[in-house]
């Protein structure tokens, strides 16, 4: 068994991904919005990366949680990009980045409300139909609820069920949210539809106040998040796992060490799962 | 079917509005102390993208002017593009199309932003196809149709921002022409200062493949020149120079 462990491709180390001196991921993830409609130097680098690795994409601007209608022109461009680079998994955030036709380029929290569940599920279904592929939606970090009618786990589960989509489980986000909103992370995970998880994200974060962690992707993964990851993968089937690191880059060998840690945990968990099945 | 209630839509709109303006809003079931982080984080995304796109402008403006400008842009402009890297072009448009106090102090600001944006655009624009029946070549006969490097921008400037530092350029207003192009080998952006005549000639070549002789005739007519001015000869030297600089790439058979 060889669980696929990938890394989010960043311009800062794209050359290293091409030469594979210190980083040896099984696949790479791209944020399509950071590469779409680009030629020249970056277009060439993109082609070199996508020719070398299997590719997944993690969208930023589809804004599945927006009140307004989907951006159909953008979806066309996105579809073209995903097909051109033979993207195997496409995921997006369960959040919104745009209202009143204005992008804010950040992930805002959708109110955990019944009408939002139906509205967002409808938009995901429509986006899946237009893209001709399933979308894995990611549980995002959120720092405040907004007039919530239900808890986060019910919100996520209801949307995944109604939209008939996949789930991208960001284990670090679960940890961050559990800390910030004072709930039990493992209990939360057990309430999620783990059979729909197509993909896992892992990352580091930063504690900025005694009772607040911000999901920065700028630090190494900490032990309690590894521990939660260990717990999680033992509850579910094998899926690809991705390390996110978006800034404050360490020596690249440290990123490889983090990927090795993730591989070690998954292989142990999923090998024993296989043994049980056999 | 419309599922979203006006109440939820309003919550979302007002939350985003707060992020853009920073003006306090009372939303039910939120923590004001936590909401401020959304304002801070989203403002940083906008600010960082603009700082990366406009390093010269950032250096020229005072810190206060820059922050005020970015703050006003985020609050008042509805960014249309889903691609963050393209958002700085909308910043240029915002400055160009609005009466802003900073433009009184820095009247050249729209041009500087546009100039900086063009460097990004030329560096990043999607690869363009060369004409059909293109043949790579570095020397040309007068009757051969010339093929230019399609990845370029030809721009008229009122300050020579492409050949001298901003502080110096603003002291030399006039009519300047800059050819900004992408080196097809390494993707780097390069600048060529052109006279009005050569800018016109290059524009003729770039519209569609034509011969040097045809361009010389058009240029003579446009600038009311005679054969005594030896336009064809000057043009031939100019185009061979452009070929050395990879702005002219060959001929069309």
Query: Number of CB pairs < 8 Å for A and B?
Result: 154
Residue of chain B minimizing CA distance to A113 = B8
DSSP code at position A141? P
B152: helix, strand or coil:
strand
CB of A133 closer than 8 Å to CB of A90: yes
Residue whose pair of structure tokens reads 């721009």 in the numeric block: B155
Q: What is the pLDDT of residue B2?
A: 87
Residue of chain A minimizing CA distance to B37 = A143
Chain centre distance of CA A247: 16
For B118, the token pair is: 């063009």
User: Which residues, given as ranges, of chain A have pLDDT below 70?
Assistant: 1-3, 273-278
CB of B15 closer than 8 Å to CB of B31: no
**Cβ of A34 and B41 within 8 Å?**
no
Interface test with B, best of A111, A162, A176 (most B CBs within 10 A): A111
For B233, the token pair is: 């000869």
Q: Is the pLDDT of residue B1 over 90?
A: no
Residue of chain A minimizing CA distance to B181 = A40
Q: What is the pLDDT of residue A1?
A: 45
**Cβ of B49 and A105 within 8 Å?**
yes
A188: helix, strand or coil:
helix
Say what the pTM is.
0.95
Interface test with A, best of B22, B83, B187 (most A CBs within 10 A): B83
Picking from A36, A40, A106, the nearest residue to B187 by CB comes out as: A40
**B-chain residues within 8 Å CB-CB of A47?**
none
Which tens digit of pLDDT belongs to each residue from A180-207?
A: 999 999 999 999 999 999 999 999 999 9
Phi, psi of A27 (to 5 degrees): -155, 170
Interface test with A, best of B1, B4, B31 (most A CBs within 10 A): B4
**C-alpha span between B66 and B69 (Å, rounded):** 5
**Cβ of A43 and B123 within 8 Å?**
no
Q: Is the pLDDT of residue B105 over 80?
A: yes
Please state the domain count of chain A. Answer: 1
Which tens digit of pLDDT belongs to each residue from B132-173?
A: 999 999 999 999 999 999 999 999 999 999 999 999 999 999
ipTM for the predicted complex: 0.95
Domains of chain B: 6-124 (no CATH), 134-252 (3.90.930.50)
**Three state DSSP letters for B39-92:** HHHHHHHHHHHHHHHCHHHHHHCCHHHHHHHHHHHHHHCCCCCCCHHHHHHHHH
Distance from CA of A20 to the nearest CA of B (A): 21
**Which structural domain range is residue A117 located in?**
5-277
Picking from B11, B19, B124, the nearest residue to A146 by CB comes out as: B11
CB of B183 closer than 8 Å to CB of B151: no
**Cβ of B20 and A102 within 8 Å?**
yes
**Cβ of A147 and B29 within 8 Å?**
yes
**Closest to A125 measured CA to CA, from A71, A172, A162, A74:** A162
Q: Which of residues 98-127 of B touch A (CB under 8 A)?
A: 123-127
Q: Which residues does residue B156 pair with via DSSP β-bridges, in sequence order?
A: B177
Which tens digit of pLDDT belongs to each residue from A55-98?
A: 999 999 999 999 999 999 999 999 999 999 999 999 999 999 99
Chain centre distance of CA A125: 19
Interface test with B, best of A12, A67, A145, A181 (most B CBs within 10 A): A67
Distance from CA of B251 to the nearest CA of A (A): 22
For A155, the token pair is: 């919100």
Contacts of B239 (CB under 8 A, 6+ apart): B140, B146, B205, B212, B248
Q: Is B42 on the interface with A (CB under 8 A)?
A: yes
Assign residue A55 the CATH number of its domain: 3.20.20.150
* DSSP conformation letters of A221-235: PPHHHHHHHHHHHTT
Picking from B11, B28, B83, the nearest residue to A36 by CB comes out as: B83
**A-chain residues within 8 Å CB-CB of B187?**
40-42, 44
CB of A69 closer than 8 Å to CB of B53: no
């Amino acid at each position: 068994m060889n669980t696929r462990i990938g890394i989010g491709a960043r311009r800062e180390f794209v050359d290293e991904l091409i030469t594979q001196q210190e980083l040896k991921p099984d696949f790479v993830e791209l944020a399509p919005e950071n590469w779409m409609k680009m030629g020249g130097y970056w277009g060439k680098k993109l082609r070199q990366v996508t020719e070398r690795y299997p590719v997944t994409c993690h969208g930023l601007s589809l804004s599945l949680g927006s009140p307004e209608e989907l951006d159909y022109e953008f979806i066309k461009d996105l579809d073209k990009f995903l097909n051109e680079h033979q993207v195997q998994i496409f995921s997006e955030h369960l959040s919104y980045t745009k209202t009143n036709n204005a992008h804010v380029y950040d992930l805002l929290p959708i109110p955990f409300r019944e009408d939002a569940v139906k509205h967002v599920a409808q938009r995901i279904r429509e986006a899946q139909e237009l893209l001709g592929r399933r979308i894995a939606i990611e549980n995002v970090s959120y720092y405040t609820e907004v007039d919530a009618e239900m808890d986060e786990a019910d919100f996520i589960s209801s949307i995944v069920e109604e939209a008939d989509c996949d789930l991208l489980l960001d284990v670090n986000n679960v940890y961050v949210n559990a800390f910030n909103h004072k709930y039990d992370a493992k209990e939360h995970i057990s309430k999620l539809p783990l059979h729909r998880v197509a993909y896992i994200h892992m990352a580091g974060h930063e504690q900025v106040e005694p009772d607040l962690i911000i999901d920065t992707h700028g630090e190494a993964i900490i032990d309690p998040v590894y521990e939660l990851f260990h717990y999680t993968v033992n509850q579910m089937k094998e899926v690809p796992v991705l390390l996110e690191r978006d800034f404050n880059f360490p020596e690249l060998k440290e990123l490889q060490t983090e990927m090795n840690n993730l591989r070690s945990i998954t292989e142990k968990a999923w090998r024993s799962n296989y043994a049980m099945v056999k | 079917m419309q599922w979203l209630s006006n109440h939820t839509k309003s919550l979302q709109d007002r939350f985003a509005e707060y992020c853009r303006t920073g003006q306090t809003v009372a939303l039910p079931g939120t923590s004001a102390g936590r909401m401020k982080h959304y304002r801070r984080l989203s403002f940083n995304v906008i600010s960082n993208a603009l700082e990366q796109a406009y390093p010269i402008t950032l250096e020229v403006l005072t810190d206060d002017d820059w922050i005020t400008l970015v703050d006003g842009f985020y609050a008042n402009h509805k960014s249309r593009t889903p691609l963050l890297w393209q958002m700085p072009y909308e910043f240029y448009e915002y400055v160009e199309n609005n009466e802003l106090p900073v433009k009184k102090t820095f009247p050249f600001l729209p041009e500087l932003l546009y100039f900086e944006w063009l460097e990004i655009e030329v560096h990043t624009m999607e690869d363009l196809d060369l004409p059909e029946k293109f043949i790579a070549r570095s020397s040309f006969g007068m009757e051969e149709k010339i093929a230019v490097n399609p990845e370029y921008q030809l721009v008229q400037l009122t300050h020579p921002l492409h050949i001298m530092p901003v502080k110096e350029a603003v002291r030399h207003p006039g009519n300047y022409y800059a050819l900004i192009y992408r080196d097809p080998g390494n993707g780097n952006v390069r600048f060529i200062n052109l006279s009005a005549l050569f800018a016109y000639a290059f524009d003729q070549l770039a519209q569609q493949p034509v011969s040097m002789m045809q361009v010389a005739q058009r240029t003579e007519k446009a600038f009311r020149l005679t054969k005594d001015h030896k336009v064809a000869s000057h043009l031939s030297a100019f185009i061979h120079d452009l070929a050395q600089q990879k702005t002219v790439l060959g001929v069309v058979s």
